[in-house]
Amino acid sequence: MKKILLVEDDPFLIDIYQTKLENSGFEVEVAENGEKALELLKEKVFDSMLLDIVLPRIDGWKILEEIKKMKEEKKDLEKMKIIVWSNLGEKEDVKKALSLGVTSYLIKANFTPSEVVREIEKLLK
């Protein structure tokens, strides 16, 4: 079973996406803030991470920078597919994300939960 880390602070979205992903056959762990996300990334191995950018205190950008540093010691992070899904959709945001090792960048408003799941399935094939 593929393991997904869902990093999201909106309880409504967590509920929808956790259910949707689990029903699609993924094992899901949720981090509702940046600290929890970094803790889980240190402890466990994930096939993919669905990452919100705007989060309280430690945001998605900071998480991506930390992952870059952690990769030296934790090699499984090289293989983890990172999908940013955010309402930030400026070209600069997308460029910055790609330069930080993100595989795919989805604008929240343009994707339904089913489409996001399909995108994850495609990346993990």
The CA–CA distances, whole Å, from 112 to 33, 36, 85, 106 equal 23, 26, 11, 11
Least distance in angstroms from the C-beta of 56 to Mg ion: 8
Q: Which of residues 9 and 66 has its CB atom nearest to Mg ion in the complex?
A: 9
- Rank residues 71 and 113 by Cβ distance to Mg ion and give the closer one: 113
Shortest separation between residue 18's beta carbon and Mg ion, angstroms: 15
> Phi first, then psi: what are they for 65, rounded to 5°?
-65, -40
CB of 32 to Mg ion, least distance (A): 9
> How near is the Cβ of 50 to Mg ion at its closest, in Å?
12
Binding site for Mg ion (CB under 5 A): 9, 52, 54
Per the listing, tokens 């595989």 go with 103
**Rg, the chain, Cα only:** 13
Whichever of 45 and 54 has its CB closer to Mg ion, that residue is 54
Nearest residue (CB) to Mg ion, 54 versus 124: 54
- Count the Cβ atoms, other than its own, within 10 Å of residue 22: 12
Query: Which helix (H) or strand (E) covers residue 104, if one does?
Result: strand 104-107
